[in-house]
Amino acid sequence: MPRIIALLAAATLATVVTPPSAAHAGPPGGEPDGNLAPITAPVAPAGVETATSAAGISSASAAASAGQHPAAAAPAGQQSAAAAPAGQHPAAAASVPPPDDPIAERLTAALLAAGEAPAGFTPQTDAVDDLFARIPAEIAACGTGARVPAGTVYREYVRGPGEEELLVETLAEPGADAARAAVTKIAGVLPACTSFTRAAGEVPADMGFALSAYPLAPAIGDASAAVSFVMTVPTLKLTVKGRLLAAAAGKTYVTVMLMSEADPKVADLEAAARAAVTKVS
């Protein structure tokens, strides 16, 4: 889904910049409930390169890796950091598991690697923003300012061009009870919450979410829940269809989400979710 990432990232990165010293800063807007922490963007396994795309996903990600982040506005007249020179791959992720954090390191190692995601998906190693990884938490909270839970790691995977799709996996280890509670929260979103809007902020455009049932969702792990959604960005004339699977696997909370401008390939999402749960079980 290069178009989705490129359009949203371009809208963000065209106007903001963050110095390198802020690479490990917390998410924009602070930590409203005291239970959140910066998301960790994992480094790819040895031998995995960042995928490139004519639609612009690589250039947007490279700009982020060069030091940009939507947390702070650029000084007047200052341009965003340049993308990597032509022919070069974007840099590796700037945000890595904190030192002396064995849980984060273990979770990062458990994320799906190249060859473990459904055929054709390539891990993106330079994603440093939680623009998409926070969507499961936002759905669970019906958009009430939720951010990525503390201790979460994530990885994005893209497949295209032609069939341009984005797969996002998140892993956290809150404990067995908390993992099941997180699944229960996703399961209880409908019918009370059918829509919400992420107001313009670090991304200078409103993002609307319409929620609906996920027909025939599979049972995965110790407990699981699923929801379908449509994300719209009116100012960018962008409409994206998505499906989310959340599961508890022992002490681990797993979410896998597939987004596409066409209908998401449900079989691939479910295969990825099963593989993710198997890897942490």
Task: Give 10-residue mean pLDDT values along the chain (281 residues).
Answer: 63 47 32 35 38 32 35 36 34 46 92 94 78 94 87 92 86 97 97 94 87 97 98 91 98 97 95 98 92
SS3 for 273? helix
Q: How far is residue 40's CA from residue 93's CA, in Å, rounded to a whole number?
A: 9
- Greatest C-alpha distance within the chain: 53
Amino acid letter, residue 116 = E
pTM > 0.85: no
Which pLDDT does position 2 carry in this prediction?
Answer: 57
Q: Which two tokens stand for residue 119?
A: 């055929």
Q: How far is residue 133's CA from residue 5's CA, in Å, rounded to a whole number?
A: 12
Residue 98 preceded by cis peptide, ω within 30:
no
What letters, b where the CB count within 10 A reaches 16 and e where it falls short, cover 78-95? eebbebbeeeeebbbbbb
Q: How far is residue 213's CA from residue 79's CA, in Å, rounded to a whole number?
A: 43
Which pLDDT does position 200 carry in this prediction?
Answer: 87
Which pLDDT does position 73 carry in this prediction?
Answer: 36
Q: How far is residue 40's CA from residue 57's CA, in Å, rounded to a whole number?
A: 20
DSSP 8-state symbol, 202:
S
Which pLDDT does position 7 carry in this prediction?
Answer: 64
Q: How far is CA 42 from CA 156, 171, 205, 207, 223, in A?
A: 10, 11, 27, 26, 26
